Amino acid sequence: MSKIKYKVTILFLVLLTSFSYSQQKFIVDLSDTTGHIFKITLFPERLTEKNRIYQFAASAPGTYELMDIGRFVRSFHAYDGNGKEIQTNQKSTNQWEISRPTRTKKLEYLISDTWHANVKDHAIFMMAGSSLEKDNSLINGHCIFGYFEGMQSEPIYIKIKTPSGWKIGTPLNKNKNGYFIAENYDRVVDSPILAGRLSEAGTKIGKCLIKIYTYSKTDLLKSSGILNSVTDILNAEDNFTKGLPVDHYTFLFHFENITNGAWEHNYSSEYIYKEDSLTDLYKENLRTVISHEFFHIITPLNIHSQIIEPFNFVNPVMSQHLWFYEGTTEWAAWILQLRAGIMSLDDYVKGLKRQMIMSDYFNKNLSLRDLSINAYKFPDQYQNIYMKGPVTAALLDILILKLSGGKRGLREVILELAKKYGVNKAFEENDFYDEIVSMTYPEVKTFLYKYIIRSDSLPLKEYLNWLGIVYQEFNGVDSSKIDLGFGLSVANNRIVVSNVPDTNSTKMREGDIINKLFTTTLTLENVQDAFMVMYGKKPGDILKFTLTRNGKDFEVDWKLPAAKRKHNFEIIKFPNPDQLALRNAWMKNLP
């Protein structure tokens, strides 16, 4: 953009903000951290009768879970310009009605953080929630901010009052008056805020300014150390995308007592992990998680459906292309490391094996398309997007490479889509499959239909053989090892049973909540340690579970089966010329 055009654009935005929009100014007071309660003051401008409803979010983009943030509101009051209270009424879980909106000059409300609130249903994952502690606070915008009906697209200003010595990390920019600025409510939700006793580091990757903010409970981890450890990943992303499509990006890390995962945003991502050494953290695949979340600058920032932007915070609707936003992103997180030489081919294949083994524990009859549409309905199946999804994307990549003679693959299709659409243009929800086919080959239409719209068995053996990799789904039974024999999944932050192989011969059913293993009460935090009791067990040994179904507790004795040798991959050392040519094209970023 030329300097003249740039100045004209800035002037236009200033005029637009000054004369066309109402500036909603929030004050977030974090000075009192007791009780885990956020004190919010909002100064609205020029409300009309159309703005009678103040709306809190029912969900948020990228979470794929129902949240109903109104549940966490503890008090809600409206006042006129003289400080006189105006009557308000809670109309529904997430909506407050203001009796005289045109006279309203101030709202005050208290809202609990989600980390410490005791809710029975629809518990919110920590990385998508909010926390207010003695020395730190995590704010995801949808968890504490709302908007007036009809004003979702109007600008929002946020000032944060913190205890002395706190730093603030966020992708939002701050103006000269100390307000963080967001062009609309969607951007607020897209811009998490980490405050507290933070370390800070930064660098440039290509033309993108990278900032890292870290809270570490005992100061074991510093932003500078994290930056040094992931710079190769960031450079690999830059090469994979032929130049990062954003000019700034912020990483927010929270290291304390619990590992709960990460959550992506368009210009930032946040990570909730148990404080540990970097070496041990990376054993948990933190680098690959960072690679995944960072790649969301492509999907869905630059490639997204009309159905998710602007987001419907009142009655959220799921896109059928969640498989693309998450499954393809997880594929990219792995393949870009392989192509950068960060990951070996052997490690990449081991990753495919783990994903297939994990996918076996989910409902095989639920297609990726149907899972995408019904993510709210099947929360216990949702994680399969990250297992079956990337394997399916890997096969699609191989197919396109095969059909093109090694000249283009899924990466090239994705970059072409990103160039065609970008941040401000969405694709048509129901036309996306046809668009991919039009950019590739007729055979891709069959692939999409069989393996994404339907749930046919994936053609791993055939496609991997094109690369000189031998695949066997089963290779006998190893009687010296055990298998759990059923799947574990998560729903409402509880551990649940999934994919029980024979429901006619066991009391266990899919969806049963697992309360205890022997005498240990299972939580998301201790489930991995609890199942360590399986070490030393042999086929035929018994695990004792306490389950809950329809509100009733019961016990099950579960006999451990022998382990099947499943999903075996063998890399041929001396592939034939066709296999070698396709493998070489597959293992590098094409020009």
pLDDT in tens, 126-178: 999 999 999 999 999 999 999 999 999 999 999 999 999 999 999 999 999 99
Model pLDDT, residue 476: 73
Q: Cβ-count burial of 303 within 10 angstroms (0-12 exposed, 13-18 middle, 19+ buried)?
A: buried
The rounded distance, in Å, linking the Cα atoms of 339 and 590 is 10
Residue 496, domain CATH: 2.30.42.10
Nearest to 517 by CA among 488, 549, 493: 488
The verdict on 40 and 83 lying in the same domain is yes
pLDDT band (50, 70, 90) for residue 479: confident
The whole-number pLDDT of residue 562 equals 85
**How do the residues of the chain divide into helix, strand and coil, expressed in percent and rounded to 5?**
35, 25, 40
Spatial separation of the C-alpha atoms in residues 543 and 208, rounded to whole Å: 52
Q: At 197, list the tokens.
A: 């006793």
**82 has pLDDT over 80:** yes
Q: Structure tokens of 486?
A: 């059923």
The β-bridge relationship of strands 487-491 and 513-517 is: unpaired
CB neighbour class for 291 (10 Å; exposed up to 12, middle 13-18, buried from 19): buried
Alpha-carbon span 25 to 41, nearest angstrom? 8
In a domain, 571, yes or no: no
Q: What is the DSSP letter of 349?
A: H
Segment 413-432 shows an average pLDDT of 94
C-alpha distances in Å from residue 9, one per residue of 16, 152, 188, 514:
10, 22, 22, 57
* Confidence tier at 326 by pLDDT (50, 70, 90): very high
Shared domain check, 431 and 349:
yes
Same domain, 84 and 147: yes
Of 20, 121, 139, the residue nearest 66 (C-alpha): 121
Q: What b/e sequence results for 236-257 when a residue is b if at least 16 CB atoms lie within 10 Å of its CB, and e otherwise? A: bbbebbeebbbebbbbbbbbbe
Residues 124 and 225 grouped into a single domain: no
The two three-digit tokens of residue 22, written as one number: 């109402």
Where is the domain boundary, 138, 163, 197? 197
Q: What gap in Å lies between CA 487 and CA 510, rounded to an integer?
A: 9
Instruction: Decide if 76 is inside a domain.
Output: yes
Lowest mean pLDDT among 116-125, 238-247, 313-322, 336-345: 116-125
DSSP string across 77-101: EEE-TTS-EE-EEEEETTEEEES-G
Answer yes or no: is 586 within a domain: no
Q: Where a domain ends, among 197, 213, 242?
A: 197
Which strands form 268-274's sheet, in the order they lie side by side? 199-205, 208-216, 248-256, 268-274, 261-264
pLDDT (tens digit, 9 = 90+) per residue, 36-81? 999 999 999 999 999 999 999 999 988 878 899 999 999 999 999 9
| % of the chain beyond a pLDDT of 70 | 95
Model confidence over 563-585: pLDDT tens digits? 777 899 999 999 999 999 999 99
Query: In the prediction, which pLDDT does 9 show?
Result: 36
Residues 142 and 127 in one domain: yes
Within a domain: 524: yes
284 pLDDT band, cuts 50/70/90, is low
Please give the pLDDT value at position 1. Answer: 37
Instruction: Say which CATH number the domain at 367 has.
Output: 1.10.390.10
Q: Specify whether 541 is located in the same domain as 392.
A: no
Residue 503's pLDDT band (cuts 50, 70, 90): low
**433 pLDDT more than 90:** yes
Instruction: Let me know whether 276 and 327 are in one domain.
Output: no
Length of the chain: 591
Average pLDDT, stretch 453-476? 94
Which of 238, 265, 297 is at the close of a domain?
Answer: 297
Banded model confidence at residue 3, pLDDT cuts 50, 70, 90? very low
At a CB cut-off of 8 Å and minimum separation 6, what does 334 contact? 288, 291, 343, 348, 351, 390
Contact 71, 14 (CB under 8 A): no
What residues have CB less than 8 Å from 236, skipping those under 6 apart? 291, 336, 337, 339, 340, 342
Mean pLDDT, residues 12-19: 40
Q: How many domains in the chain?
A: 4
In a domain, 577, yes or no: no
pLDDT at 21 over 70: no
Instruction: Average the pLDDT over 232-251 and give the result.
Output: 97
Q: 3-state class of 279 per DSSP?
A: helix
Q: How far apart are CA 383 and CA 210, in angstroms?
A: 29
Within a domain: 309: no
Assess whether 365 and 375 both reside in one domain. Answer: yes
pTM: 0.85
Q: Are residues 325 and 377 in the same domain?
A: yes
Q: Would you state the pLDDT for residue 7?
A: 38
Q: Is the pLDDT of residue 2 over 90?
A: no
Structural contact between residues 255 and 220, judged by C-beta atoms closer than 8 angstroms: yes
Show the domain range for 401: 316-466
- The answer to whether position 578 is within a domain reads no
Verify that 462 and 325 share a domain, yes or no. Answer: yes
Nearest to 388 by CA among 458, 489, 333: 458
Biggest CA-to-CA distance, the chain: 83
Q: What is the DSSP letter of 458?
A: P
- Residue 283: pLDDT above 80? no
Q: Do 339 and 458 share a domain, yes or no? A: yes
Same-domain pairing of 425 and 322: yes
Is residue 517's pLDDT more than 50? yes
- Each residue's pLDDT tens digit, 94-109: 999 999 999 999 999 9
Q: What is the CA radius of gyration of the chain?
A: 25
Specify if 567 maps to a domain: no
Question: Per-residue pLDDT for 6 more than 50?
Answer: no
Give yes or no for residue 481 having a pLDDT over 90: no
Report the distance separating Cα 527 and Cα 497, nearest Å.
Answer: 13
Residue 374: strand, helix, or coil: coil
